[in-house]
Amino acid sequence: MLDTSETVAKKESLPRAFYDRDTVTVARELLGSLLVHMSPEGITAGKIVETEAYLQGDPACHASRGITRRNRVMFGAPGYAYVYFIYGMYYCFNVVSAPEGVGEAVLIRALEPVEGLQLMRLRRKRERLEELCGGPAKLVQAMGITRSHNGMDLTGGTLFIHKAQETNEPIVMTTRVGIREGADMPLRFYLKGNRFVSKK
């Protein structure tokens, strides 16, 4: 049963302690949680069904070469949003994890649309549910997440993640998508059988 706008708005965000842990653990345990954005246009929410972990010593991680203006948020306190621009046209949404000073984050790769479906369709200019949030750039567009959200505290405010009820859905661990370096590292996780996963 899908949440109504009223119940989604009342959900509490995950505490900072949730993110202040091993990044791989955070990436796995974010699955099934609800990403919520209470924007001026309306509330949108989606169940997290696919994630990727990026570790400081990982060649595919933005933090692997140290602190820069672009990745500075990754080295800050856990529980903040890291939003970056790729390919000159798309944004990706990540959650900063691990203790402060360690540059790590979890990329949210796909959502199962739950709330604000018409608003998502309007933003994406798509009708099919599978085309709304089935990829990191798609979900950012559908959820109305922009560069202005970079560095936003996810433990309170209009953009947050709520831990969903426990599920028995099995988790698949595999290699990450769309990278060259570190491509063989099994740091991608998704809910097996979920039709909203970007790539099985």
Is 196 contained in some domain? no
Band the pLDDT of 107: cuts 50, 70, 90.
very high
pLDDT tens column, 108-153: 999 999 999 999 999 999 999 999 999 999 999 999 999 999 999 9
Q: If you compute the radius of gyration of the chain from its CA atoms, what whole number of angstroms results?
A: 15
Element (H, E) at 58: none
> Which CATH number is 25's domain given?
3.10.300.10
Domain extent, residue 176, equals 5-191
**Overall pTM > 0.85:** yes
Whether 59 is in a domain gets the answer yes
Instruction: Please indicate, yes or no, if residue 200 is contained in any of the structural domains.
Output: no
In a domain, 29, yes or no: yes
Q: How many domains does the chain have?
A: 1
Question: Residue 140: which of 191, 194, 81, 199 has the closest Cα?
Answer: 81
- Asked if residue 163 belongs to a domain, the reply is yes
Residues 180-191, mean pLDDT to the nearest whole number: 93
Question: Domain for residue 76, yes or no?
Answer: yes
Please check whether residue 28 lies inside any domain of the structure. yes
